Structure 1
């Protein structure tokens, strides 16, 4: 009677899980799924809360992982041209401007791609590719890749059995703070989309009390100031402001909300009523609402194998993964 056996694929899967675990911060938790339905694990982010690093607290942030491994990854380069905004129109490329991107290639089944697409964009799914020979691990956000790369370049993608995914080798998972910026940003994504919806709602309500909507709701000065106070407190309570040193617009909006809170604490003169509401709607909440636009056009293209991503995603590096033109 034969003894228990392990396939080569099972060995590779164990190696890939171990490599991923070793590459992530010690405090982070990898929750494994059971049967493979396209998602292999969920990474939950924790941070130590004491100097001795003995106690870690959850951040309430996570991202899904589709974990793949190979001992024969094809490394090559991908030429990425300057292009128009694919969120606004068909792909148009400027062939006179391009970068050469070092990439790892992986053939991903269409069933996996369509599964991720059906999940939407609020909770990121990262394809993590582990080289079982070198023990290096690379990531790409599949939600963003589908919208920013796959669909613009192949409108008939869904009819294919699989698609080649190009992962920049600069997207290497390392337990170093600079390298973790991207993963921390993905972990916070669901909170960001919740905040974007909130800011949009608040702006519309301020417009209503200004009489700028079809169904205006004019209220007394005191009630308007009370509403703005509540809006500021709710906005500041959103757990999105910390950890965004890498995206300056978040720092600006946070600072502006704190300044507005201080202004409110000092009091607003009734004669400045309309001017103050205009300041709130046309400046503070205009910029808060615009965060979602910038997130779609810029942030979702970070770490992609595209021209814009190579210019905007990475800190200066002195290694072979630097882009060349």
Structure 2
């Protein structure tokens, strides 16, 4: 017989759901990654550190990449179709009217309401400190992800600059953004690996700009080539050149190695013929040295273009926007 003698301490259903959600998230991430619960919790539930088995030996090494996670759960995903309209580059002032011949894009999403105080906190942290939303369906144990930094900068602020004046806002989380160890459910882990490299990319972009500026002040070609040789050594050590889907970075690394193979000297004719980016021809009004100096200039100018590509394109890759939907079709 169970004799009731007053109520005992009870555990809220919300706490049970939170613990179950974190277990599901941990099971969806690569098992070599380290997931740390963040306590006390002021909007950030988890801190995740990425690892990789480079040699295939089972000995995993840290990548030096970290990101934060806000975990939210629902009983079951309820999907809807979002019609994404073409739009102007949101990083620039918006025109009073914008017309486009592009067709609208339909994107399958799950709507989820979130406190604007969390978004304001993430915005204050800056884009280089990655905060992901992991939305968990408790019935199917599926996990969707969304980079909150990018969603704020590319969707929330352009559409609702004073979003923080309301208590909550509804996010559209794309169904294609699924996180799973299983290959059946797409490349979510690879995408998160790329996003987790953000602080490394921003550091690299800063270095690119600094080096280009310093090279412009060299007094002559010899000083410029010696300086470029030294700078290439710094660039080779950066951990941004591969292992992700931004393939143009691998092209630039091949260009880097091609330059490094001859600096600080001036290349012979065959060097131009084997250029990884441009098939140079010596039937040109410039001397070989002038052409090589131009190639170095093009290399550092191109590196600085990468930072703009990253801001305008890469940060929208996995958002529910017209641009992201078009890129997914290419």
TM-score by length of 1: 0.86
Q: CA deviation at 1:108?
A: 0.7
Relative to structure 1, is the Cα distance of residues 51 and 247 closer, same or farther in structure 2, using a 3 angstrom cutoff? closer
Q: CA deviation at 1:38?
A: 1.2
TM-score by length of 2: 0.85
Q: For residues 25-36 of structure 1, what are the structure 2 equivalents within 5 Å?
A: 25-36=30-41
Gaps of 5+ in 1: 210-217, 316-325
Deviations 1:145-199 (A, max 9, x none): 0111111222331211110000001001011463322101111110000000000
RMSD of aligned Cα (Å) = 2.2
Question: Following the alignment from structure 1 to structure 2, what is the Cα–Cα distance between the partners of residues 233 and 266?
Answer: 15
User: Relative contact order: is structure 1 or structure 2 higher (C-alpha 8 Å, sep ≥ 6)?
Assistant: 1
Deviations 1:279-301 (A, max 9, x none): 212x1001111100000110000
Matched, 1:82 2:97: no
Deviations 1:128-153 (A, max 9, x none): 11111211110111111011111122
Q: For residues 261-272 of structure 1, what are the structure 2 equivalents within 5 Å?
A: 261-264=260-263, 267=266
SS of structure 1 residue aligned to 2:64: strand
Question: Following the alignment from structure 2 to structure 1, what is the Cα–Cα distance between the partners of residues 54 and 249?
Answer: 24
Larger Rg computed on CA atoms: 2
Match of 2:279 in 1: none
Is the contact between residue 266 and residue 288 of structure 2 (CA under 8 Å) also seen in structure 1?
no
Is the contact between residue 222 and residue 264 of structure 2 (CA under 8 Å) also seen in structure 1?
no
Relative to structure 1, is the Cα distance of residues 123 and 313 closer, same or farther in structure 2, using a 3 angstrom cutoff? farther
Q: For residues 135-284 of structure 1, what are the structure 2 equivalents within 5 Å?
A: 135-176=141-182, 178-209=187-218, 218=219, 221-244=221-244, 246-264=245-263, 267=266, 275-281=291-297, 283-284=298-299
Gaps of 5+ in 2: 1-5, 269-286
Question: Following the alignment from structure 1 to structure 2, what is the Cα–Cα distance between the partners of residues 302 and 93?
Answer: 22
Q: CA deviation at 1:311?
A: 2.3
Q: CA deviation at 1:200?
A: 0.5
SS of structure 1 residue aligned to 2:212: helix
Q: CA deviation at 1:276?
A: 3.3
Q: For residues 8-47 of structure 1, what are the structure 2 equivalents within 5 Å?
A: 8-47=13-52
